[in-house]
Amino acid sequence: MSTIVCPEHPSPVADAEALRKACQGWGTDEKAIISIIGRRNATQRKLIRQAYEDLYQEDLLKRLESELSGDFEKAVYRWILDPEDRDAVLLNVAMKQTPIDYRVIVEISCISSPEELLAIKRAYQIRYKHSLEEDLAQHTTGDIRKACNNFILFSKFLVGLVSIYRYKGEEINAKLANSEADILHKAVAQKAFNHEDVIRIITTRSKAQVLATLNHYKDDHGSSVTKHLRDDPCSEDYLSAVRTAIRCINDHHKYYEKIIRHALNKPGTDEDSLTRVVVTRAEKDLKEIKELYHKRNSVSLDHAVSKDISGDYKAFLLTLLGNEID
Amino acid sequence: MSTIVCPEHPSPVADAEALRKACQGWGTDEKAIISIIGRRNATQRKLIRQAYEDLYQEDLLKRLESELSGDFEKAVYRWILDPEDRDAVLLNVAMKQTPIDYRVIVEISCISSPEELLAIKRAYQIRYKHSLEEDLAQHTTGDIRKACNNFILFSKFLVGLVSIYRYKGEEINAKLANSEADILHKAVAQKAFNHEDVIRIITTRSKAQVLATLNHYKDDHGSSVTKHLRDDPCSEDYLSAVRTAIRCINDHHKYYEKIIRHALNKPGTDEDSLTRVVVTRAEKDLKEIKELYHKRNSVSLDHAVSKDISGDYKAFLLTLLGNEID
């Protein structure tokens, strides 16, 4: 469930005017900005951007970028974008990093529904005039040349994940789950990097089918396959990407809870990860993630966030987390 | 341009009644069936199937299957299906053959627009309750186990082609085309099977960009890359699939002309290929393919077809080719 608190029928024109006022004169009224955009859903924000453009012949996003700064600016920028456009930006930024931030690529491709992923690919093409697949393939092939042969697996795995238009039916084939659990076990046990099948199973099967296979694996071998996909220094990135994908498919709330926990526990805080999870999940399931966080850490996420970060950035994230900030 | 001759507003109910009559009593009136369905476009055929179902609580397709036989039945069956559903069936049949009929997979994935390919994937999922990608990956991974290592390239190439949601913009990056033409040349010249880049370029770049790269290759090296992708017995299937993809992207009318030419020239005729091209292109660009055929073979396609095949099958294909059969 969503954590943001939105009025039912806010006036986009009144919102645009208030935002204009908050950006004019000496200094910026960050509080006013937060209290508006932190309490509007994606459709409402889109209407505000449109109204702002109509009224002032100016892109609200560009204006806010020039008024704000630091982590606060970044969070506002990501929040205001349409969700599919935001994910396209996150993917582009992640693949351009050195080393590639594969977590973002894995989580967006594995957690989005097939239709959502398709919308993200369309948004990516509109924004970057390339396909997501070609850019990712190019960036990861670059890595292959530099590094050991197992980067071929890494590249193939990531490109496979973003390329697939998965079947979303819930029906599963138990016999197939059984035989593919065996295939996984053989690939993992041999450590022979005959991972073509591992990649095929995780990147192409429906999520329901992957889950059934993972469950069979657990039943047959006493522990999760992620426990066995370890301890090979040469293919650490590839194995880590596979483990991430399995976690995302298996229970993405738990996955996000862990990302937030690590982001907050890191000395100095990993603001990028924190922002990413809060901004991308606020309208979807941040409530469930908050509950898991509380259960796992014996402290509420609101409390942890307000202890760890500060200023307008803190006020904004707390608003997205559903708090009244005044 | 289309070759079929359709009335503007035929009555689906009258058509359904006439088809019912043609299927009743002693024998089947094949001529009547051909004169109706051979002169209706995809939308009109869909309405006939719907009207037939409403009137007689029976699937027209099943009825025709039980009334007709041989190549004629196959051609009618394929023709009546919605275009995206037909392509889904063609793909499924092609991948289940031993060896895989990769030509069909390459041509459908490379010649369809990104939106058409997406519609085919949706139709595939509705019909088979799997994704196209997972079935193809499974069938081609089967081959890998049986055969030499280069089947990994073969599988990766085919799965890449059907997976990609290509960028369809016409703008190209000339610098990139230049550098990727060099990459292709190095991969081809070395014959070292460092083909990751070849696969990446052909399967993920926009068609306009692939064409620009192929043109650069020709300018720099004096001949088409397809001429250099040869003479390796171990990876013949893979190289042949790459050549096919390049031909499909480069000029698919020319490609189809060649398929038809070979189908007709083969001793005994390759009816499956002939049917496939006529049925899948009749409403799209069969006119252009006919013109190319005439130019290349100094005989009209209608003439060649009527010399090579016979009976109802011949009458049906000639109708789809735009002839009046009475």
As a whole number of angstroms, the distance between CA A47 and CA A277 comes to 24
Here the tokens at position A234 are: 């040469």
Contact yes or no for B205 and A129 at CB 8 A:
no
Distance (Å) from the alpha carbon of A131 to chain B's nearest alpha carbon: 5
As a whole number of angstroms, the distance between CA A207 and CA A202 comes to 8
Q: From chain A, pick out residues whose CB is under 8 angstroms from the CB of B132.
A: 165
Q: Does A129 touch chain B (CB under 8 A)?
A: yes
Q: Does B156 touch chain A (CB under 8 A)?
A: yes
For B165, the closest of A131, A156, A169 (CB atoms) is: A131
Query: Greatest CA span in chain B, whole angstroms?
Result: 69
Q: What is the pLDDT of residue A144?
A: 47
Q: What is the pLDDT of residues B164-214, one digit of tens each?
A: 999 999 999 999 999 999 999 988 876 655 688 899 999 999 999 999 999
As a whole number of angstroms, the distance between CA A153 and CA B301 comes to 47
Cβ pair B127, A194 in contact under 8 A = no
pLDDT band for position B16 (cuts 50, 70, 90) = very high
Q: Does A160 touch chain B (CB under 8 A)?
A: yes
Better-scored residue on pLDDT, B98 or A25? B98
Asked whether the predicted pLDDT for residue B325 surpasses 90, the reply is no
Q: What is the pLDDT of residue A191?
A: 64
Instruction: Write out residues in chain A with pLDDT < 50, as ranges.
Output: 143-146
Domain B12-68, second-level architecture: Orthogonal Bundle (1.10)
Asked whether the predicted pLDDT for residue B217 surpasses 70, the reply is yes
Mean pLDDT computed over every residue of chain B:
92
CA closest to B139 among chain A residues = A200
Q: What is the pLDDT of residue B142?
A: 58
Q: Any idea which fold B259-320 has?
A: Annexin V; domain 1 (1.10.220)
**A217: exposed, middle or buried (Cβ count in 10 Å: 0-12, 13-18, 19+):** buried
Q: What is the pLDDT of residue A121?
A: 98
Direct distance between the N- and C-terminal alpha carbons of chain B, in angstroms, rounded to an integer? 24
Distance (Å) from the alpha carbon of A297 to chain B's nearest alpha carbon: 39
Contact yes or no for B131 and A155 at CB 8 A:
no
Contact yes or no for A118 and B118 at CB 8 A:
yes
Domain A252-320, second-level architecture: Orthogonal Bundle (1.10)
Q: What is the pLDDT of residues B295-316, one digit of tens each?
A: 999 999 999 999 999 999 999 9
Q: From chain A, pick out residues whose CB is under 8 angstroms from the CB of B141.
A: 196-197, 200
Here the tokens at position B211 are: 């064409």
DSSP 8-state symbol, B7: -
Q: Does B196 touch chain A (CB under 8 A)?
A: yes
DSSP 8-state symbol, A234: G
Q: What is the mean pLDDT of residues B255-266?
A: 96
How large is the angle between the packed helices A151-163 and B151-163, nearest 10 degrees? 30
Cβ pair A135, A96 in contact under 8 A = no
Q: Does A6 touch chain B (CB under 8 A)?
A: no
Q: Does B172 touch chain A (CB under 8 A)?
A: no
**pLDDT above 90 as % of chain B:** 81
Contact yes or no for B156 and A152 at CB 8 A:
no
Here the tokens at position A87 are: 């994910």
As a whole number of angstroms, the distance between CA A94 and CA A86 comes to 12
Instruction: Tell me if B12-68 shares its fold with B84-250.
Output: yes
In this prediction the pTM is 0.88
As a whole number of angstroms, the distance between CA B70 and CA B105 comes to 24
Query: Is CATH 2.60.40.10 the right assignment for the domain spanning A84-250?
Result: no
Contact yes or no for A133 and B204 at CB 8 A:
yes
The angle formed by the CA atoms of residues A173, A178 and A179, to the nearest 5 degrees, is: 100
pLDDT band for position B145 (cuts 50, 70, 90) = very low
Q: What is the pLDDT of residues A79-122, one digit of tens each?
A: 999 999 999 999 999 999 988 999 999 999 999 999 999 999 99
Q: Does A197 touch chain B (CB under 8 A)?
A: yes
CB pairs under 8 A between A and B: 90
Listed by start position, the domains of chain A span 84-250, 252-320
pLDDT band for position B144 (cuts 50, 70, 90) = very low
Q: HEC string of B232-264?
A: CHHHHHHHHHHHHHHHHHHCHHHHHHHHHHHHH
Q: Does A58 touch chain B (CB under 8 A)?
A: no
Asked whether the predicted pLDDT for residue B149 surpasses 60, the reply is no
As a whole number of angstroms, the distance between CA A218 and CA B302 comes to 62
